Amino acid sequence: MKQTITEKILADKSGKKFVEPGEFIEPKLDMILANDITAPLAISEFRKAGIKKVFDKNRIALVMDHFTPNKDILSAENVKLTREFAREHEIKHYYEGGNAGIEHALLPEQGIVAPGDCIIGADSHTCTYGAIGAFATGVGSTDVASAMAAGKIWMKVPHSVRFIFKGKLNKWVSGKDIILYIIGMIGVDGAIYNALEFEGETVKEVAINDRFTICNMAIEAGAKSGIFAPDEITSKYVFKRAQRRYKNYESDKNADYYQTYEIDCVKIFPQVSMPFLPSNVKAVKALKKIYVDQVIIGSCTNGRIEDLRIAASLIKKGKNLNSNVRTIIIPATPRIYSDALKEGLLEIFINAGAIISPPTCGPCLGGYMGILASGERCVSTTNRNFIGRMGHPKSEVYLTSPATAAATAIKGYIASPEEI
């Protein structure tokens, strides 16, 4: 039976020769993830069930990244509870303070997740890890509680939907522009409970950081997961990082797909997602001047070193940031922060008038480090722009790539990188 990469991974993890879409299975898990918002709920349910021991102290990652450094008493209590649980169960992968980064950048960087893994996380953007050829999906905290005890999860096999990339990428077009284009094309409900698979001749031009971005936002189309089959680009990233042995999978030729889309990348230019849905997408060049109050470059979607390099190159060229715009730069992990410091990127940002934040998810979900007031507009490299997502219900968030965000920070209005 011909199978997709997703079906192959789930079959192997379930001890089966093959699985079919719609089938209910119980795959074994290679990694379970929770953060400072979702872990306390999972821990509460874990204890309420009377469970005394986690299934494997090496297969659980608890990352304190959303509201840390602690922004208030509640966030401090949540971190304390999670820290005590991690110590009690000798959890190997506990990250807080100076060693904590944004979870979906930190885990791949540290080699904690790997190709062929089956991963769940109590965070919807867990699908990020599909970039290295893993099946990864977000679940609820109760699911994480039971998984920490059993090491497996009950789930339904998703249908696979294939996106075939063709044509050469235009200048300044990144993974963010590609995924925004796709979401704009199929809608936020266009792939509900599907596994999105990305392939085609253009994939060899899509760098690993852009693959992370594309898979990260698969959930914004309603998908269960997103995935790229491992190739030389994957191997170059994973080989020097992986903490354990892994297995590469790929789809069979003539595997059965629920739907197939062909994406002509020549038609994609820098994109912007307008309020209040990620699917409300337009080409930047089609916009009239929309002035903004804030720009954020960071997050699990676009806070990697490559993103900061692109932003810094434009800001250095533009010299000064617009004085009417608060520009906040958030390196996604301590290593990225350190690399940006060594490369002189932080100096470029500071000299131009930007604010540098420690790694945090803070502003993305309206937590802290960049909350919007009524009527304020923000261009952000984050992944959601729902009403009130970053603060006041009457504020607005526009989603773009780091290049477009940097150009906007210079101009003061939503601008194409070509304008710099």
Residue 330 confidence (pLDDT): 98
- Same domain for 237 and 293, yes or no, is no
Burial class (CB in 10 A: 0-12, 13-18, 19+), 253: exposed
Q: What is the pLDDT of residues 112-132, one digit of tens each?
A: 999 999 999 999 999 999 999
132 and 234 Cβ atoms separated by less than 8 Å? yes
- Same domain for 70 and 170, yes or no, is yes
Structure tokens at 328: 């906040």
pTM: 0.96
- Same domain for 133 and 236, yes or no, is yes
Residues near 18 by Cβ (< 8 Å), separated by ≥ 6?
1, 3, 7, 11
For the chain, how many structural domains are there in total?
Answer: 2
- Same domain for 244 and 279, yes or no, is no
In degrees, to the nearest 5, what angle opens at C-alpha 411 toward C-alphas 405 and 413? 70
Domain boundary among 263, 292, 323: 263
Q: Please provide the DSSP assignment of 228-263 as one string.
A: E---HHHHHHHTTT-SS------PPTT---SEEEEE
E strands along 91-140, which residues? 93-95, 118-121, 135-138
- Same domain for 396 and 303, yes or no, is yes
143 and 153 Cβ atoms separated by less than 8 Å? yes
Structure tokens at 122: 């109590």
Residue 414, amino acid: I
Residue 318 confidence (pLDDT): 82
- Same domain for 173 and 302, yes or no, is no
Task: Find the CATH number of the domain harbouring 398.
Answer: 3.30.499.10
pLDDT in tens, the chain (420 residues): 899 999 999 999 999 999 999 999 999 999 999 999 999 999 999 999 999 999 999 999 999 999 988 999 999 999 999 999 999 999 999 999 999 999 999 999 999 999 999 999 999 999 999 999 999 999 999 999 999 999 999 999 999 999 999 999 999 999 999 999 999 999 999 999 999 999 999 999 999 999 999 999 999 999 999 999 999 999 999 999 999 999 999 999 999 999 999 999 999 999 999 999 999 999 999 999 999 999 999 999 999 999 999 999 999 998 889 999 999 999 999 999 999 999 999 999 999 999 999 999 999 999 999 999 999 999 999 999 999 999 999 999 999 999 999 999 999 999 999 998
Structure tokens at 345: 């990127």
Q: How far is CA 61 from the centre of its chain?
A: 16
Residue 381 confidence (pLDDT): 98
**Which of 65, 281, 33, 311 is CA-nearest to residue 153?**
33
- Same domain for 22 and 104, yes or no, is yes
**Which of 105, 106, 283 is CA-nearest to residue 178?**
283
35 and 66 Cβ atoms separated by less than 8 Å? yes
- Same domain for 350 and 386, yes or no, is yes
- Same domain for 88 and 180, yes or no, is yes
- Same domain for 56 and 76, yes or no, is yes
Residue 246 confidence (pLDDT): 96
- Same domain for 170 and 122, yes or no, is yes
- Same domain for 258 and 276, yes or no, is no
Residue 325, amino acid: V
Domain boundary among 263, 295, 324: 263
Domain that holds residue 362: 271-419
Residue 328 confidence (pLDDT): 98
Domain boundary among 233, 263, 293: 263
Residue 1 confidence (pLDDT): 84
Residues near 114 by Cβ (< 8 Å), separated by ≥ 6?
30, 132, 134, 238, 242, 243, 244, 246
